[in-house]
Structure 1
């Protein structure tokens, strides 16, 4: 969990996950995932832009900004992969689709 998580952190995350799950009714999980990643990158680009007064300043911080978001995503992905590995049988028996159905 991120260091700056507030009391509503998981509720917001769950709302996004529920939206993505709802989209599985008419799109493959890979397509939903790609849209989800694009959306979060677009939101984070906007969020980053809000912290600058000039595009030159944003350009100067580009590499640092990318490194920050990639590092944070990697931490979250590692945490969630480890959680799924540890709880694989429990989580996957709840799944209504197998991985091969989505490919």
Structure 2
């Protein structure tokens, strides 16, 4: 990620907070994770569609859109897994 706006982590924390509430209400982590991923993909498809002038334009840009979002997700997931590796005992205390 290049520039992060000041509200970036606040918004992310709000999404995580909702996921944590769902887990507290008895929904399993795997189910919450799957819903979280689906909602992110659905929202990002909508963002891509908003930038297109029509379905042909969206189809022409599909591979570029997929490449961008997959690469960004991989970077973010790598950073977060590395953070958990480096802080495992601190983060995973009971």
- TM-score (structure 2 length as normaliser): 0.96
Q: Counterpart in 1 of 2:47?
A: 47
**Distance (whole Å) between structure 1 residues aligned to residue 63 and residue 50 of structure 2:** 17
Displacement of 1:5 in angstroms is: 1.3
Q: Counterpart in 2 of 1:89?
A: 89
Deviations 1:22-71 (A, max 9, x none): 00022100000000000000000000000011100100110110010000
**Distance (whole Å) between structure 1 residues aligned to residue 54 and residue 17 of structure 2:** 37
Considering Cα pairs closer than 8 Å and 6+ residues apart, tell me whether 1 or 2 has the greater RCO.
1
Gap regions ≥5 residues in structure 1: 95-103
Q: Counterpart in 1 of 2:59?
A: 59
Gap regions ≥5 residues in structure 2: none
RMSD between aligned residues:
0.8
Aligned residues: 93
Q: Counterpart in 1 of 2:14?
A: 15
Structure holding more helix per residue: 2
